[in-house]
Amino acid sequence: MLKINDQGALLLMNAKKITIWIANSSLSVTNPVAQLLDSGNFVVRDENNFNADAYQWQSFDHPGDTLLPGMKLGWDLVKGLERNLKSWKSANDPSHGNYTCSISLVGYPQLVLQNGSVLHYRHGFWDSMQLNSMSTNTQSKDLTDKFVINENETYYKYGVWDRFIIMRMVLTLSGTLQLFTWNDQNQNWEIYFAVQKDACDRYALCGAYGSCDSTGCQCTAYAYMDITEGRSGCLIWFDELTDIGVKTSDSLDLYVKLAVFDLGGGAKRSRLKMRVGVIVVALLLGLYLKRLGSKRKDKDLSKSLDWLKRYSIIEGIARGLLYLHQNSRLRIIHGDLKVSNILLDYANNPKVSDFGLARTFGGSEIEVNTTKVAGTHGYMSLEYLIDGVFSIKSDVYSFGVVSVGVC
């Protein structure tokens, strides 16, 4: 039996009227009412207040194994509330089973599925339009996708264009995430699609640097990924590259750089020894980043960049270069540092982007001489432009020019 007590809290009681569950909330209401909304959200609110932000409690904050259209899967960072899916223990037991589906905040947020504490499936990053591993499934006239990342919350949700179409996403007993649609004619639920399409969706199935396709695992060190509509961002990996899959469409380009070390010497040492160096991956993602050097400068942005903010941007760029030059496992020289390669996030924090001309130095290596000079005129140091001497000083010179541009 459900009941609202004198304090406005929702109670679940057994036949002996003993409370077995209570809805905890930091909000209080004067005239509490419980209501099941058309969306499927069961809420406790004040009788005269229909504002969703004022709900004392809502079931959408506590999903079981089902995600309905409009429900958020992810984090309310202000309240410290995580909304995730949990599989049932059995077909007749709705208590928590082995599998959970959630938004991981480690690195760039992504949708993951775990078996206990073990990562089972990884559903990919948001590429400004969809989760890239789900792209062939969710590009439908029936569905909409949304992934929100800001300082207050990080979540994924989906919607349905036609209000007469009834759908639900379910984390099954076996750990498969499936979307069902209601067939009114047959009066049953039919599978619209399953997120995990085949065995290759299993996390790290082929191990480090392994690539999986329908025929099995292949030893490769790259994958291809796609780009969307002029928005860009950058992700960098320095460790083992795992969980690569082969897709036939809607993929993103993954760029892998391999450095060759110790080729051996003499006739007795003809075996070639190769070691994977640093892996630089440029994923052009919609991260709501704004280019400082864009020709279409935002007037409001320019007005908001007072001296302290500009100084903060310059300081942030300097910290990024310090990490590349000194604190990363291998020394990285950017090689093309310029104003248009500095991105700002929603809080105007700078991010160094575009590592297409970057080089890595190992051991005690501090500079190289090259006859092939590449970069942007005006940002290249004279010793590099004239003599081909490429070193940390090349980035430092470019940083000085960028600082003038920011100021």
Question: Domains of the chain (ranges plus CATH)?
Answer: 1-62 (no CATH), 64-197 (2.90.10), 206-288 (no CATH), 289-407 (1.10.510.10)
Angle formed by the axes of helices 392-406 and 307-322, nearest 10°: 170
pLDDT of 290 over the 50 cut = no
User: What percent of the chain shows pLDDT beyond 90?
Assistant: 27
pLDDT band at 76 (very low <50, low <70, confident <90, very high): very high
pLDDT single digits (tens) 28-59: 778 888 999 999 999 999 888 888 888 889 99
More confident residue, 223 or 380: 380
Residue 38: partners with Cβ closer than 8 Å, 6 or more residues away: none
Residue 301 has φ and ψ, to the nearest 5°, of: -65, -45
Contact 59, 42 (CB under 8 A): yes
Could you give the CA distance from residue 176 to residue 44 in angstroms, rounded to a whole number?
Answer: 32
* 162-166, 274-278, 331-335, range with the lowest pLDDT: 274-278
Residue 274, Cβ neighbours under 10 Å: how many?
Answer: 11
Question: What pLDDT does residue 210 have?
Answer: 62
Question: What pLDDT does residue 32 have?
Answer: 87
DSSP secondary structure code for residue 107 in this structure: S
In 35-45, which positions are buried (b, 16+ CB within 10 angstroms) versus exposed (e)? Answer: eeeeeebbbbb
Question: What pLDDT does residue 99 have?
Answer: 96
Please report, as a single letter, which amino acid is at residue 359. Answer: R
pLDDT single digits (tens) 205-224: 776 656 676 666 654 444 33
* 70-84, 221-235, 346-360, range with the lowest pLDDT: 221-235
Over residues 95-102, mean pLDDT: 94
Contact 259, 278 (CB under 8 A): yes
- pTM score over 0.75: no
Residue 124: partners with Cβ closer than 8 Å, 6 or more residues away: 110, 111, 131, 132, 133, 134
Looking at every residue in the chain, the average pLDDT score rounds to: 77
Coil, helix or strand at residue 45: strand
pLDDT single digits (tens) 135-144: 445 456 788 8
Residue of 309, 378, 284 whose CA lies nearest to 339: 378
pLDDT band at 129 (very low <50, low <70, confident <90, very high): low
pLDDT band at 384 (very low <50, low <70, confident <90, very high): confident
More confident residue, 8 or 356: 356
Question: What pLDDT does residue 270 have?
Answer: 36
Question: What pLDDT does residue 232 have?
Answer: 46
Residue 280 has φ and ψ, to the nearest 5°, of: -110, 120
Residue 191: partners with Cβ closer than 8 Å, 6 or more residues away: 178, 179, 180
Question: What pLDDT does residue 285 have?
Answer: 32
Could you give the CA distance from residue 318 to residue 121 in angstroms, rounded to a whole number?
Answer: 37
pLDDT band at 132 (very low <50, low <70, confident <90, very high): low
User: What percent of the chain shows pLDDT beyond 70?
Assistant: 72
pLDDT single digits (tens) 232-258: 444 555 456 666 666 555 555 555 554
Question: What pLDDT does residue 378 have?
Answer: 83
Which of 73-82, 103-112, 200-209, 261-270 is predicted most confidently? 73-82
